[in-house]
Copies of this chain bind each other. A is one copy, B any other.
Amino acid sequence: MGCGSNSKSREALSSRTLVRVGSGLVQEMAHSEVSTPIILVNFKCYLEATGKRAVRLAKYAEEASRKFGVTVAVAPQVADIRLVSEQTGAPVFAQHVDAIRPGSHTGHVLPESVLEAGASGFLVNHSERRLQASVIEDILSRARELKLTTVVCANTSGIAAAVSSLEPDMIAVEPPELIGSGVAVSKARPEVVTDTVSKIRRINQDVIILCGAGITSGEDVKAALALGTEGVLVASGIVKAKDQAAAINDLAAACR
């Protein structure tokens, strides 16, 4: 199955208007479209993807996207969202936002602040920043209000199924023991991926399923897509690569 052929999920995407159309509450707008297959690069707190280096990496993402006709989105640190968003065309996701409304919340990340800075959406519940179940629901509700695209991470197929009934736009399944391992879940544990896809689909037919943890090569991406996912969430495999541009091109090419 080629990546481009998954028309159902594409329709699903457009029917849920993942193209962000701005908000009366804020004054800026992102213009990036999100379609599947998607490669989402999580910059984490790596220095190799901080500040100016975040911009450089996002430009590689943008180039790979154009070259191979696949969405390559980036998730830089909050301090870098505006810079990356202004200087590149890559869709930008926050790595986390808080389930708050504007007000007295010193030290938190207001969804409106990342939206105005140019983010198209955000990840939440990554294994490195897990959330209470009720907070995930609250933050998805805030995202709908602001038309921000949501990616909820799940550490197991059980959590993926649980989360799927909260109706995020995307779910990224990442067994934490494979994160940063260089061993791709799609190759080392294909049954985790197929099990997850099947558990999610019983509950939610529309959510876009991403596969994460240990993805470093185009082969890993192909394996992930063949198992029924519509994209990958990658981090160190790209950010820590000696040649970030080559690494990102390798993944994007695999989606052609």
Contact = CB atoms under 8 A, between A and B. Distances in A.
Contacts of A80: 82, 113, 117
A95 B109 CA distance: 10
A2 interface: no
Nearest to A119: B79
Contact of A47 (B25, B155, B179): B25
A33 interface: no
Contacts of A155: 134
For the complex formed by this chain, how many copies does it contain in all? Answer: 4
Contact of A162 (B25, B104, B110, B165): B165
A79 B113 contact: yes
Interface residues of A, number: 69
A149 interface: no
Contact of A109 (B78, B81, B135): B78
Interface string A152-195: 00011011011111100000000000011000000000000000
Interface stretch (A65-73, A121-129, A219-227): A121-129
Interface string A23-53: 0011110000000000000101111001110
A129 B108 contact: yes
Nearest to A100: B45
Interface string A95-115: 110001011111111101110
A104 B104 CA distance: 25
Contacts of A180: 104
A132 interface: yes
